[in-house]
């Protein structure tokens, strides 16, 4: 059982082209409720306004980077259970470890395919639903 296609997803990346690519991959996979934020600050504001089922989060961004954003939401009782997948070009082992220690549920290295995205999302779905 994977992520339900009616899930509300927030994709956070400072590059508009990357947000478009991710949105397009999600659309290919059947996800239509996708919103965008261009940095951690913007994303934090959106999370406080709406309920999201998943956050796809870039690492390197101005205003507030992905790790800081992750640490912020993990401290917030209202937001701490939202699953987060880091989406980044940072493939170094220590970065993957830092992301996981900061509370990321999974990690995708750019560039990636719709299949990889689906696979990671399904893994996270199983994690959060005790599968």
70-85: per-residue pLDDT in tens? 999 999 999 999 999 9
Higher pLDDT, 89 or 16: 16
Domain assignment of residue 102, yes or no: yes
Residue 2 has pLDDT above 90, yes or no: no
Domain assignment of residue 2, yes or no: no
Domain assignment of residue 40, yes or no: yes
Return the SS3 of 121.
Answer: helix
What's the full length of the chain, in residues?
A: 131
Domain assignment of residue 98, yes or no: yes
83-128 pLDDT per residue, tens: 999 998 878 889 989 999 999 999 999 999 999 999 999 999 999 9
Q: Counting Cβ atoms within 10 Å, is residue 29 exposed (0-12), middle (13-18) or buried (19+)?
A: middle
> What mean pLDDT, rounded, does the chain reach?
94
Residue 1 has pLDDT above 80, yes or no: no
If one counts the domains in the chain, the total is 1
* Cβ atoms 17, 36 nearer than 8 A: no
pLDDT confidence band for 24 (50 / 70 / 90):
very high
Q: Domain of residue 90: give its range.
A: 9-128
Domain assignment of residue 36, yes or no: yes
Q: Which residue has the tokens 């990636």?
A: 112
Percent of the chain with pLDDT over 90: 89
- pLDDT score of 131: 64
Domain assignment of residue 3, yes or no: no
Q: What is the CATH number of the domain that holds 110?
A: 3.40.50.2300
Domain assignment of residue 63, yes or no: yes
Domain assignment of residue 4, yes or no: no
Higher pLDDT, 131 or 16: 16
Q: Please enumerate, as own/partner, the contacts of 47-50 that have beta carbons within 8 Å and a separation of 24 or more.
A: 47/10, 47/73, 47/79, 47/82, 48/78, 48/79, 50/8
């Amino acid at each position: 059982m994977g992520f339900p296609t009616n899930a509300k997803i927030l994709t956070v990346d400072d590059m508009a082209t990357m947000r478009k690519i991710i949105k397009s991959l999600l659309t290919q996979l059947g996800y239509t409720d996708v919103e965008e934020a261009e940095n951690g600050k913007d994303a934090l504001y959106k999370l406080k306004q709406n309920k999201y089922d998943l956050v796809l989060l870039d690492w390197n961004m101005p205003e507030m980077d992905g790790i800081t954003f992750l640490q912020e939401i993990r401290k917030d009782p209202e937001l701490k259970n939202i699953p987060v997948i880091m989406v980044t070009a940072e493939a170094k082992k220590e970065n993957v470890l830092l992301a996981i220690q900061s509370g990321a549920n999974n990690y995708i290295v750019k560039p990636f395919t719709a299949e990889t995205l689906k696979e990671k999302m399904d893994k996270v779905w199983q994690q959060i639903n005790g599968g």
